[in-house]
Amino acid sequence: MSKVTKDLLQTIYPPRPSEVRKYDYGLLLVIGGSDFYSGAPALSALAAFKAGLDMVRIIAPKRAADIIASFSPVLAAYPIANTRVLKNDLPLLLEMTASAKATARGNVAVLIGGGMGRTEETLQTIADYLAHTDIPAVIDADGIHAAAKNPGVLAGKPFVVTPNTFEFALLTGKEVRELPHEERVKVVQEEATRLQTTILLKAAIDIVSDGKEILTNETGSPYMSGGGLGDTLSGIIGALLSRGISPMQAAAAGAYINGKAGEIAGAKLKESLTAMDVIDAIPQVIG
């Protein structure tokens, strides 16, 4: 077990060659949102761009997609007809994933879950999508609820699951909130082994394990309790996955970057900290 430090970022962000092409540094497909929730996909996408991503494609229900597209000209949002992701949207999701993979020459990842809702049909559609997906993926928020009902979809794939302690209990059946840190580490490693995936447990000290390695991250701020900070984290991880970084390193580096950006913004803004402030601080961390 070792602690994540800024040294990892030197591996993640080597000097770029003098000539590059669009998508050399990744395309992230963000699947999320619903009629009520539009912020999560947008925050993830904006954080991904600040983390060095070339392009994001967002797929969301029409109302959410229209709102997201208005946030920034760099956000490309594709609207689906339903008010939330439903079973009949699955062929389109798989088609657009294949298209993204071809367009980006394989430099692609997907982020799924933010703001999607937890109706039975939506959760089953997420699970069915993951069952048919083999590209790197970040599974967050409502995506974790879907995986909890269908844990077999995680096994052996290049996925990162990002639960807080409540979502971890939902996913694994193991309550870790009251456990000492050392015991948490053991449980996370055991569950990553059992589920055959990479888990990032979000806590005061983040724990990352793929069942073999264990990394801990101590960056962060007590002012990072507001909405959207998990979305920024998942966006950063998705950006790194799309750049070809391994799930273990992407999760660990993402936790470090998001937490350090929160420290920088929190030191200045304290109680007024928002997710947008954290996004704005990312360049100071990776620069």
How far apart CA 271 and CA 159 sit, in angstroms, is: 34
Q: Is 61 helix (H, G, I), strand (E, B) or coil?
A: strand
Q: Of 54, 238, 11, 13, whose CA–CA distance to 135 is shortest?
A: 238
What residues have CB less than 8 Å from 112, skipping those under 6 apart?
A: 30, 31, 32, 126, 129, 130, 137, 138, 139, 140, 143
Share of residues in the chain with pLDDT > 70 (%): 100
> Whole-number mean pLDDT of the chain?
98
Q: Which class does domain 2-10+22-286 fall in? A: alpha beta
Distance CA 45, CA 239 (A): 9
In this prediction, residue 165 carries a pLDDT of 98
pLDDT tens-place values along the chain, 287 residues long = 899 999 999 999 999 999 999 999 999 999 999 999 999 999 999 999 999 999 999 999 999 999 999 999 999 999 999 999 999 999 999 999 999 999 999 999 999 999 999 999 999 999 999 999 999 999 999 999 999 999 999 999 999 999 999 999 999 999 999 999 999 999 999 999 999 999 999 999 999 999 999 999 999 999 999 999 999 999 999 999 999 999 999 999 999 999 999 999 999 999 999 999 999 999 999 99
| pTM of structure | 0.98
- Report domain extents, the chain: 2-10+22-286
* 12-67 per-position pLDDT tens digit: 999 999 999 999 999 999 999 999 999 999 999 999 999 999 999 999 999 999 99
pLDDT tens readout for residues 124-139: 999 999 999 999 999 9
The pLDDT of residue 190 is: 98
